[in-house]
Structure 1
Amino acid sequence: MGFHIDPRPETFKSAWQEAGVIFVVCMAQLLTQAGASQCLPMMDALAEAFPNVTNSDKVWFMSAFSLTAGAFILISGKFGDLYGLKKVLICGTIWSFIWTLITGFTSYTDSVIFFCVCRGLHGIGIAFVLPTAIGVAGTMYPNGQRKALVFSAIGGMAPIGATLGAIFSGLMTVRGHWEWVFYSNAIGVALLGVAAYFVIPSIPRHAPVEAKMDWVGSFVGVAGLLLFNVATNQAPEVGWNSAYVIVLVVVGVLLLVGFCFIERKVQWPLVPPNAMSIQIFMILLVVAFGWASFSIFLFYYWSFNMNLRGYSALKTGATYVSLAFFGVVAASIVGFFIRRVRPSFLLLAATIGFLIGIVLLSVTPVHQTFFILEFIALIILPFGMDLSFPAASLVMSDKLPKEHQGMASSLVSTMTNYATSVSLGFASTAQAKVYAHTSDLLKSYRAGLYVGIGFAGVGCLLAIALIILSYVTPHKPLEVETEQEQTEQEQTEQELTTEDIKSEENKEVV
């Protein structure tokens, strides 16, 4: 079977413009992952920079960004569909630039709360950048191998972004200038906005003229996600039996239930009815549990190496080079197989990758060299990232019409970012409980990793169930078309076209 790439879409005036659009979309993913990981190397430096930093505050250094990014991504795609993907993307870069810059300025204050708030506000900007950028790709590329390659490249930017964010952050932290991590991020976001303005062509609105924003559903959904996430990340510090944690959990869950009810009743829901099938829901759950496990791996990887092995922030960041390298390898492989293998199988392989990676870290001895278990884990993990995100994104993009491309990417991005934030609360709870009983830091870290193993295990079971469901469902499974299916469809269309031409010729003769 040959490797055929469909021609460049006519919406691009030249190959340079197409390259520019791909650069913008990939940079959006890179900056998102860099923003999520850049606080990991500087946790100890931030604890020294601000007074009275608690363990819960350290979790918020990373979670604040993912909290707002995951919550507001839910509505950002709809904004792009209604008000223009390019316009919303550029507005998101402006917002991100401002608050990333202010986050760096917090080095002149002594408020850890202000720092975390600024991190959260930066996340809101990124929430309006990533899904609209992916929505641009989904709108401009028709279903085919070329689109699959672009989405694979987007997925490949995840480990590269996490690596660059960690290494640069480690370098600046060692030099005693952690604030420059955020100044540099602001420069990157500004360049992204400028590039988007010049290279992305005008994209016509595909949503119906009468379509409107569901403001009630937006408020209820985002509020529910925020409250539940705040509760899970505060619980390790104050306890799950704390009155305000219980209230936040109950109110958050009720709001999310209310959001589901509202979406079924309103005329123009945030989540399109096409995306409400059981298979789509299971795909999103698989992605969520896989990335929840990955988030826990990242947090304890850094804690393990810096606090138990005594690695510096820069040395720990240097070990991330293997994550970026094998991320590129994984993205290349995914680009070839994504149209040849059912996405449900790719998602199963992704969750297995997440599972193996975090299991290896959980059994790594403190005094073992890096080039054994940790190195193997960093080889396997990129396949989890680069298989899950492109496969799920491509399914959503292929199966939803152009007027919902922003929302299609929002649903996947919501799962990855929100799971990244909320999972740390559950892992930190296990860590705090074990440490309180044993005062053993290694055992407490492993307790948190066991929670991540549980998340990855659930993801594997859901992926297996998804495969079974795709074969037992009486109607055609909700999967992207394989190359063979596309070829058969093209042949059928050609036959129909030939018959139409012959019919017209016969009419002319008559």
Structure 2
Amino acid sequence: MKRKNSVVLFIACSAVFLEALDLAIMNLALPLIQKHFHLEEEQSQWLQTIYVLLYGGFLIIGGKLADIWGRKKVFLTGALLFLITSIGAGKANSFEFLFFFRAIQGLGAAFLMPSAMAIITNTFITEDARSKALGIFSSFAAIGSGCGLSVGGLIASSLGWQWIFFINVPIISISLILAFILLERDIRIIGTNQPDLLSGIILSFCIVLLSYFIHAIPVLIHKPIWIVIVLSLISSSLIYFIKRTRHHPNPLINFTLLKGNNVMLGNRTIFILGSFFLSYLLILSFYLQEILGFSAAKAGLLLFPFSVGSAFISRFLLPRLIKRFKIIRTARLGMTLMFFGALLLIISMYYGLFAPLVFSIACVIGAGMAISIPSLTVMALSQIPVEHQGVASGVNTTSYFFGSGIGLSLISLMMQLNTLFPSTIKQLIASASLLLLIAAIAVLYLLKEEFSLKK
């Protein structure tokens, strides 16, 4: 039984690993795709944007379907979509086909992630076992991001950009086969427990539209009429969704379940973490390639040891931290590492020193993410009943996703303030200073909540 549970954990971890790998690896492959299809920079960026829009937009409904229709069924559907679209994207002979497969891949990820987390919480029943399993599961997000950054440049440079998609195929194929054979069949709940799919569609529409707005802020800021139209659509749709949720017998999201102290603390802090991490990766990538002149392959080689370190921390150190300390203190340690990582990055860029850059990467990619994401995920899901873990994990991941979108938009705006920051290095230092502030807010917030809990 213990061996079977370990295989189930591997199946679930493969999903979060691929999702994080796919987001990170694309950053280093975009210039090659842009060159291959003779695209403008803003066109190639849509490959990342469309994935994030559909992924973030359908996470909650994917989680609800996992709760109602069955974790195994939704996981297999998401994995199959991810497999087909990975092959299709790698074989695409035009940008239009690549764009299409990338969009559906985001939808597959939205089904894959919450169902994988729900599988874990249903498999590991005791509190200690579940916390440890969720910690390992979430740590694979950090490992996937690190591997995407480190290996992505090497793969794209040596084998071609197509292999950033083909690399998914063997991993997801093994997971599909094992999941089909080993995962227990879910009993489909019928009758009054059918999900409110219309609310799901409305909420997904709101999230996609809001996500688009966040990503397009640098462009829309010059089009006030469009801003009014988009915000009006989002506001009216959200108002209708809230009213419908209050009166429906089986609402899409039971908001009373999300009011626990740990649940709210975990979701709020992971929102802040999202606004920090992807923005840090963007600034780091820009600094390495545009200022220091690193190639994608060389940047990957620099980051590779820290990905290994992240895996080591996730496997050996993190379980001990979660067992020995309160989960809020573990989360605070992770966010403190983020703070020092941003500070060291600023010092490196300001004085032109390489050593602080290495320690910055160690703090953020090597240790910070390996500690922060698992602890915050465990915190957000610890008080949620098993039958609602799917939608709760969707809310948790959506919080991280929204934070990422807002963080990236703020960095994009910062980079466009040429009058205040006339040189690229000054823009990067200003952007890193914003990240320092974001990390400081997270640390202070966790300190405040820990002090409140003691009272």
TM-score (normalizing by structure 2): 0.90
Partner of 2:121: 138
- Work out whether 1:395 is the aligned partner of 2:379: yes
The percent identity for this pair of structures is: 18
Partner of 1:214: 196
Partner of 2:252: 270
Select which of 352, 355, 358 maps to 2:342.
358
Asked if 1 retains the 8 angstrom alpha-carbon contact of 2:142 and 2:373, the reply is no
Partner of 1:148: 131
Partner of 1:96: 82
Asked if 2 retains the 8 angstrom alpha-carbon contact of 1:21 and 1:200, the reply is yes
Q: Which moved more, 1:377-386 or 1:297-306?
A: 377-386
CA RMSD of aligned residues (A): 2.6
Asked if 2 retains the 8 angstrom alpha-carbon contact of 1:138 and 1:397, the reply is no
C-alpha change, 1:109 and 1:366, in structure 2 (3 Å) is: farther
- Work out whether 1:167 is the aligned partner of 2:125: no
Q: Once the two structures are superposed, what CA deviation does each residue of 1:471-500 show, in whole Å capped at 9, x if it has no partner? A: 34xxxxxxxxxxxxxxxxxxxxxxxxxxxx
- Work out whether 1:431 is the aligned partner of 2:415: yes
Q: Which moved more, 1:337-346 or 1:293-302?
A: 337-346
Name structure 1 gaps, 5 residues minimum: 1-13, 473-510
Partner of 2:13: 26
Query: 1:432-451 residue pairs with structure 2 within 5 A?
Result: 432-434=416-418, 438-451=421-434
- Work out whether 1:462 is the aligned partner of 2:445: yes
How far apart are residue 116 of structure 1 and its match? 4.3
- Work out whether 1:109 is the aligned partner of 2:94: yes
Partner of 2:110: 127
Asked if 2 retains the 8 angstrom alpha-carbon contact of 1:64 and 1:421, the reply is no
Higher helix share: 2
Larger Rg: 1
- Work out whether 1:305 is the aligned partner of 2:292: no
CA distance in 2 between counterparts of 1:456 and 1:193 reads 38
How far apart are residue 272 of structure 1 and its match? 2.5
C-alpha change, 1:380 and 1:272, in structure 2 (3 Å) is: same
CA distance in 2 between counterparts of 1:82 and 1:161 reads 29
How far apart are residue 64 of structure 1 and its match? 3.1
Partner of 1:76: 62
Q: Once the two structures are superposed, what CA deviation does each residue of 1:239-294 show, in whole Å capped at 9, x if it has no partner? A: 35443244223422443454344333322122224423162223201111112200
Asked if 2 retains the 8 angstrom alpha-carbon contact of 1:152 and 1:386, the reply is no
CA distance in 2 between counterparts of 1:456 and 1:116 reads 34
CA distance in 1 between counterparts of 2:452 and 2:428 reads 36
Select which of 87, 100, 117 maps to 2:73.
87
Asked if 2 retains the 8 angstrom alpha-carbon contact of 1:152 and 1:390, the reply is yes
Asked if 2 retains the 8 angstrom alpha-carbon contact of 1:293 and 1:456, the reply is yes
Name structure 2 gaps, 5 residues minimum: none
Query: 1:2-17 residue pairs with structure 2 within 5 A?
Result: 14-17=1-4
Q: Secondary structure at the match of 1:270?
A: coil
Partner of 1:197: 180
CA distance in 1 between counterparts of 2:305 and 2:151 reads 15
Q: Secondary structure at the match of 1:365?
A: helix
Asked if 1 retains the 8 angstrom alpha-carbon contact of 2:192 and 2:250, the reply is no
How far apart are residue 396 of structure 1 and its match? 4.1
CA distance in 2 between counterparts of 1:168 and 1:116 reads 23
Select which of 342, 358, 368 maps to 1:384.
368
C-alpha change, 1:251 and 1:454, in structure 2 (3 Å) is: farther
CA distance in 1 between counterparts of 2:434 and 2:247 reads 37
Q: Once the two structures are superposed, what CA deviation does each residue of 1:180-227 show, in whole Å capped at 9, x if it has no partner? A: 21122234323322221122223446x686312112321221111111
C-alpha change, 1:128 and 1:267, in structure 2 (3 Å) is: same
- Work out whether 1:421 is the aligned partner of 2:405: yes
TM-score (normalizing by structure 1): 0.81
Asked if 1 retains the 8 angstrom alpha-carbon contact of 2:30 and 2:44, the reply is yes
Partner of 1:223: 205
C-alpha change, 1:455 and 1:177, in structure 2 (3 Å) is: same
CA distance in 2 between counterparts of 1:163 and 1:237 reads 30
Partner of 1:53: 40
Asked if 2 retains the 8 angstrom alpha-carbon contact of 1:169 and 1:178, the reply is no
CA distance in 2 between counterparts of 1:168 and 1:318 reads 8
AA at the equivalent of 2:414: A
AA at the equivalent of 1:389: I
CA distance in 2 between counterparts of 1:140 and 1:351 reads 29
- Work out whether 1:188 is the aligned partner of 2:171: yes
Q: Which moved more, 1:157-166 or 1:18-27?
A: 157-166
CA distance in 2 between counterparts of 1:406 and 1:89 reads 11
Asked if 1 retains the 8 angstrom alpha-carbon contact of 2:71 and 2:119, the reply is yes
How far apart are residue 82 of structure 1 and its match? 0.4
C-alpha change, 1:343 and 1:58, in structure 2 (3 Å) is: farther
Q: Secondary structure at the match of 2:148?
A: helix
CA distance in 2 between counterparts of 1:253 and 1:361 reads 38
